Amino acid sequence: MCIVGLGLIGGSLMRDLHARGERVYGCTLHGARAARRDGFDVCDSVEEVLRRAEADRALVVVAVPMRAAASVLDQVAELAPSCWVTDVVSVKQPVYDLVVERGLAARYVGGHPMAGTEFSGWTASQEGLFAGAAWAVTFDYAREAPTDRDWAALFTTVCTLARVVGAEAVPVSVARHDEAVARVSHLPHVIAEALALVGDRGGTLAQSLSAGSFRGATRVASTEPELVRNMCETNAASLVPVLDEFIALLTDARASLDSTPPSMQALAESGHRAHLRMAARHGARRESVSPVKISSRPVMRVHPGAPGWVHQLEQIESLGGRVEVF
């Protein structure tokens, strides 16, 4: 396995794979020395690591920020033409467009582990980061070529990679992925930044009085602004309509709070019900006291490449379920 880019996600993936006895190496522009000191097989040259991957027929995991994805995929196309490719970038349509442009679609399966912290870089990487997390695995190419055995085998490999690090493979098309993460990941980042500003304008008094609700909603504002920009800007097409929905809800609540008497009934009650629905779906996983973690995601066993398998994936996608490949 060859990981290009060893920040929080790529680095944590390397740690997990290494801890499970997998052969894994990688490269990173920042933190290569620290990674080597920690005992990992890491260099600082994309070219060198991709030549090595080509010789090994390694699976190449692109784990760089979106802005670097085009140049890394150029190098993959040139230097590792025999390798299978996956990635962990937080938006999928823009990466898929780059993949298609470079003629790599038949040997690419997109991935996105839904895990992270507000910290970044190799020093922030940690073992166990992906335990229980969803790992989105894209399957758009299978719609065009459902009987491509090689691609089906790569799909199996990426699902297995997710399982090995304790995550759950959730099959999803790139468009639906980007729309969903705009709602549950990118919008919370935009909110965190704006709320931090509103809180800070209240000065030291507001800061002194802030407690859990404020900290919970602003925690991710400590993420490097560059990473937040990368996520949100590359997913602007999905994020803008979601922001419109959110702003419309707030604008309605504002009007209703500005009436006589002030009311927040509609938002408080519908928001609470929405939260209960989402929490109920999460239920089993979070409250289990058993040492064996039980996932709340519905599961479907799929044999990649078998007749009807793409239709199965579409069914799982609509449920947000996980796939077990066999």
Judged by CB under 8 A, the chain residues 284 through 303 that form the site for a second copy are: 297
Calpha distance 67→90 (Å, rounded) = 12
By the rule CB under 8 A, 121 interacts with a second copy: no
Name which of 35 and 63 has its Cβ closer to a second copy: 63
Q: How far apart are CA 227 and CA 268, in angstroms?
A: 32
Mention every residue, 6+ apart, whose C-beta is less than 8 A from residue 189.
220, 221, 223, 228, 231, 232
One DSSP character per residue, 64-119 reads S-HHHHHHHHHHHHHH-TT-EEEE--S-SHHHHHHHHHTT-GGGEE-EEE----S-
Site string for a second copy, 255-274 (x = CB under 8 A): --xx--xxxxx-xxxxxx-x
Per CB under 8 A, the list member of 243, 300, 312, 314 interacting with a second copy is 243
What does the radius of gyration of the chain's CA atoms come to, in whole angstroms? 21
**Closer residue to a second copy in complex, CB, 93/223:** 223
Cα 137 versus chain centre, distance: 10
Pairing of strands 59-62, 2-4: parallel
SS3 assignment, position 27: strand
Name the 3-class secondary structure at 168.
strand
The reply on whether position 33 binds a second copy by CB under 8 A is no
Nearest of 12, 18, 8 to residue 41 by alpha carbon: 18
By CB under 8 A, residue 240 contacts a second copy: yes
220 binds a second copy (CB under 8 A): yes
Q: Compare residues 157 and 263 and give the one whose CB is closer to a second copy.
A: 263
- Interaction of residue 200 with a second copy, rule CB under 8 A: yes
319 contacts a second copy (rule: CB under 8 A):
yes
Q: Could you say whether residue 277 binds a second copy (CB under 8 A)? A: yes
* Part of the chain binding a second copy (CB under 8 A), chosen from 73-81, 137-145, 199-207, 302-310: 199-207
Of the candidates 18, 52, 107, 177, which one interacts with a second copy according to CB under 8 A?
177
188 near a second copy, rule: CB under 8 A: yes
User: Minimum distance from CB of 174 to a second copy (Å)?
Assistant: 13
Q: How far is the CB of 96 from a second copy (least distance, A)?
A: 17
143 belongs to the binding site for a second copy (CB under 8 A): no
